[in-house]
Amino acid sequence: MNVTFFGAAHEVTGSCHLVDTGAEKILFDCGMFQGGQFNEQKNHEDFGFDPASLDAVVVSHAHLDHTGRIPKLVRDGFRGPIYGTHGTLELAELIWKDAYHIMKYNNKKTGDPVLYTEEDVTRAMSQCHAQSYRTPFSIGSATIVLKDAGHIFGSSFIELTSGGKTIAFSGDMGNENVPILQDSEALSPVDFLICESTYGDRLHEDERMRKDILLELVKEGVRRGGTIMMPAFSLERTQEILYMLDEMAEEDKTLPQFPIFLDSPLAIDAMPTYTTYTDYYDKDAKEKHMQGNDFFKFKQLTITRTVEESKAINTVPSPKMIIAGSGMMNGGRIMHHAMRYLSDPKSTLIIVGYQAEGTLGRRLYEGAENVRIFNEHIPVHCTIKAIGALSAHGDQDKMLDWIGSSGTAPQKVCFVHGDDHAATELAHKTRDRYGVKTIVPEFGEKVEVE
């Protein structure tokens, strides 16, 4: 058995790893590459393998950088089954449709080519076969189990056994004690691990402080009297933030009343999935649900689905808070709010997720004084804050613990889904702690499972 890396090699996006069991070819994830452009040129290139030769695709979770090229894979000849949890596949379908609309919009504006058509999305949907957590299923000689990764709703890590060897793929590993989600499960004893390393060189703030930091930043922003912008990934961060804001409003009656806008059609469309699979909830969320407390609806919250409703936010006096995608500010409605409020010294931008190199979010995070949005020059005068503890990814300590969570560390660990520094540092730390072989594979590199 061997694994070849066709994405997320020395970078965070484009997750795509080909497992060859000797009898079957199984693809783990097929995500979009995302940097400064929503739809990077790299997405249009050949996969590096023949899509028609694949027996199956198994997806770890719905995020675009893990599923976004699946409709293209189908367009290019893949006809086999696509496996993932029920939550993952439902959300992936929303993500594909949303991405198609963004690409169509960009195509009209700039002529950028779209990656796939609506028909490709429909076809991909017809190839989806949803699975339950912890319930083994077969792909030829291989047995697959999906376990909860605690990263986003429905997210999993994948364990595959074939020919007496077991390999695992972390997908994206969640942070500890996040709202709504259960914590990530322990890894089984495996021979070989493909492991994400997004925050492989960083430690987050104490997660117990998470809500306090958010509350403080929001209060500060309200005191300044401006607009609080929160670019959020439509799946998960948004729902978790709403959950925390709802709790805040309930627990802290001194919190000034100000409107909160959820300005993300994708996040709004994802709500039914969150309310369907309540068995994915953690203990607190289950209790709230049992008590009939809908944590996605509260007094201050206004949902703005249409473009007109979104534009009307501008006319609402400050202070106000806007949660909008995209999370890395490389497209979506947040761009329009950023154009309006980045130059306002009273306003605040709160960054709550990973910002890839080349994105507007990253430039702002790094302190850019001027930025360009839709070819317009915008001076940055607002306050910019970031909360590491709100990240959807485990930090270095979490990853190191998880790698050894079965009691026996895998013999070989390949680090993907991290930039050079993060992947290399986590590889060194893993080698030092467990004495195992670590690799940071190159794009196209084939690694044997021993």
Q: E strands of 2-140, at which residues?
A: 2-5, 17-20, 25-28, 56-58, 82-85, 128-131, 137-139
Write each residue from 125 to 164 as x if it is in contact with Zn ion (CB under 5 A), else as -, in one continuous string: ----------------------------------------
Q: Compute the least distance from the CB of residue 196 to Zn ion, in Å.
A: 8
Residue count, binding to Zn ion (CB under 5 A): 2
Q: Which is nearer to Zn ion, 341 or 402 (CB)?
A: 402
Scanning the structure block, which residue is given the tokens 């290019």?
A: 76
Q: Which is nearer to Zn ion, 85 or 166 (CB)?
A: 85
Q: Which of residues 278-337 bind Zn ion (CB under 5 A)?
A: none
Q: Compute the least distance from the CB of residue 328 to Zn ion, in Å.
A: 12
Q: Which stretch binds Zn ion (CB under 5 A): 60-68, 102-110, 273-281, 370-378?
A: 60-68
Q: Compute the least distance from the CB of residue 327 to Zn ion, in Å.
A: 10
Q: Compute the least distance from the CB of residue 84 to Zn ion, in Å.
A: 13
Sheet of 446-448: strand order equals 128-131, 82-85, 56-58, 25-28, 17-20, 2-5, 446-448
DSSP β-ladder status, 25-28 and 56-58: parallel
Write each residue from 396 to 425 as x if it is in contact with Zn ion (CB under 5 A), else as -, in one continuous string: ------------------------------
Q: Compute the least distance from the CB of residue 151 to Zn ion, in Å.
A: 6
Distance CA 381, CA 221 (A): 14
Q: Compute the least distance from the CB of residue 155 to Zn ion, in Å.
A: 7
Q: Which stretch binds Zn ion (CB under 5 A): 166-174, 224-232, 288-296, 442-450?
A: 166-174
Q: Compute the least distance from the CB of residue 407 to Zn ion, in Å.
A: 27
Q: Which stretch binds Zn ion (CB under 5 A): 59-67, 93-101, 248-256, 399-407?
A: 59-67
Q: Which is nearer to Zn ion, 235 or 323 (CB)?
A: 235
| Environment class of 343 (CB within 10 Å of its CB; exposed 0-12, middle 13-18, buried 19+) | middle
Interface residue with Zn ion, options 17, 25, 63, 363 (CB under 5 A): 63
Q: Which is nearer to Zn ion, 24 or 196 (CB)?
A: 196
Helix spans in 283-333 (H): 283-290, 307-312
Q: Which is nearer to Zn ion, 98 or 172 (CB)?
A: 172
Q: Which is nearer to Zn ion, 234 or 347 (CB)?
A: 234
Q: Which is nearer to Zn ion, 199 or 341 (CB)?
A: 199
Q: Which is nearer to Zn ion, 348 or 391 (CB)?
A: 391
Q: Which of residues 168-187 bind Zn ion (CB under 5 A)?
A: 172
| φ/ψ (deg, to 5) at 234 | -60, -30
Q: Which stretch binds Zn ion (CB under 5 A): 20-28, 165-173, 212-220, 425-433?
A: 165-173
Q: Compute the least distance from the CB of residue 381 to Zn ion, in Å.
A: 32
Q: Compute the least distance from the CB of residue 63 to Zn ion, in Å.
A: 4
Among 4, 62, 72, 18, which Cα is nearest to 40's? 72
Sign of the CA dihedral running 208, 213, 214, 215: positive
Sign of the CA dihedral running 328, 199, 8, 236: negative
Among 129, 3, 135, which Cα is nearest to 450's? 3
Distance CA 138, CA 52 (A): 19
Q: Which is nearer to Zn ion, 63 or 224 (CB)?
A: 63
Is 237 an interacting residue with respect to Zn ion (CB under 5 A)?
A: no
- Tell me if 56 sits within 8 A of 26, measured CB to CB: yes
Hey, how many other C-beta atoms are within 10 angstroms of the C-beta on 254? Answer: 5
Q: Which stretch binds Zn ion (CB under 5 A): 63-71, 82-90, 103-111, 129-137?
A: 63-71
> Which one-letter DSSP state was computed for residue 3?
E
Q: Length of the chain in residues, anyone?
A: 450
Two structure tokens written together for 312? 């009307």
Two structure tokens written together for 101? 């609309």
Q: Compute the least distance from the CB of residue 89 to Zn ion, in Å.
A: 15
Distance CA 320, CA 229 (A): 9
> Which one-letter DSSP state was computed for residue 76?
T
Return residues touching Zn ion (CB under 5 A): 63, 172
